[in-house]
Amino acid sequence: MKPVQTILAASIAIGALLAPAPLSAAAKPDPAQQLAAAQAKLDADDPQGALAILDPLLKRDGKLAHGYLLRGTARLMLGTAGGKEDLDKALALDPTLRQAWLDRAAVAVSEKRYEAALADFQKARDLDPADADGLLNIGAVELLLGRLDAASQSFQQFLGQRPGDASAHFLVAKNYALTGYAGLAVQGLQQAIALDERVRAAARGDGAFSSLASNPRYQELMRKDSFKLPAGLPYAERFYPAAYRQGQGPLLPATLDALQSLGEPFDSRVEVTPDWALLWGAMRIKLSDDAKGQGVVTLSARPGLSTADWEQKSAKLLDTILIQLAKRRTMGGPPKPAPPAR
| Each residue's pLDDT expressed in tens, for the chain with a length of 342 residues | 444 434 454 434 333 333 444 544 445 779 999 999 999 999 999 999 999 999 999 999 999 999 999 999 999 999 999 999 999 999 999 999 999 999 999 999 999 999 999 999 999 999 999 999 999 999 999 999 999 999 999 999 999 999 999 999 999 999 999 999 999 999 999 999 999 999 999 999 899 999 999 999 999 999 999 898 888 889 999 999 999 999 999 999 999 999 999 999 999 889 999 999 999 999 999 999 999 999 999 999 988 888 899 999 999 999 999 999 999 887 655 444 444 443
The CATH number of domain 235-331, selected from 3.30.300, 1.10.3470, 3.30.310, 3.40.50: 3.30.310
Taking a C-beta distance cutoff of 8 angstroms, is the pair 145, 114 a contact? yes
Interval 75-127: pLDDT, tens: 999 999 999 999 999 999 999 999 999 999 999 999 999 999 999 999 999 99
CATH superfamily membership of 31-163? Tetratricopeptide repeat domain (1.25.40.10)
Q: What's the rounded Cα separation, in Å, for the pair 236 and 31?
A: 63
Domain chopping of the chain, boundaries:
31-163, 235-331
Q: How far apart are CA 109 and CA 3, in angstroms?
A: 12
Helix (H, G, I), strand (E, B) or coil at 329: helix
